[in-house]
Amino acid sequence: MRTPTMKIVRYSQARIARTFGLVRGIRLVRVRDDRRRMRWAVALRVLGGWRLVGRDPMTSPWIIQRDPWLNPRPMLFPNVRTARRLLANLDL
């Protein structure tokens, strides 16, 4: 069975959606990273379905990045405790 793919929403957009009451639910989900290890990610239930919370791109001429800055990537955490701590600190 194939795993359904989820769209990614930037963290700043997730905070705005939470402020306006557009977030219907928050869930921690397990996803595979680029090295096929299982990690934890934050999924938001919004009007269009479930979305993974991704990092905001950092734009600076002095940052050397291995991937294009527009390539969306979800925020991944090694364990549940770290993900829950971040959710509590970031008001999500």
Q: What is the dihedral of CA 44, 42, 92, 22, to 10 degrees?
A: -10
Cα–Cα dist 49/68, whole Å: 27
In a domain? residue 2: no
47 in a domain, yes or no?
A: yes
Please check whether residue 52 lies inside any domain of the structure: yes
Domain count, the chain: 1
Judge whether 44 lies within some domain.
yes
State the pTM of this model. Answer: 0.76
Please write the tens of the pLDDT for every residue from 41-62: 999 998 888 999 988 777 677 7
Q: Is residue 24 in a domain?
A: yes
In a domain, 62, yes or no: yes
pLDDT tens, position by position, 59-84? 677 766 666 666 778 889 999 999 88
Domain that holds residue 14: 7-89
pLDDT tens digits along 3-18? 567 888 888 888 888 8
| 33 pLDDT higher than 90 | no
In a domain, 1, yes or no: no
Q: How far apart are CA 39 and CA 32, in angstroms?
A: 6
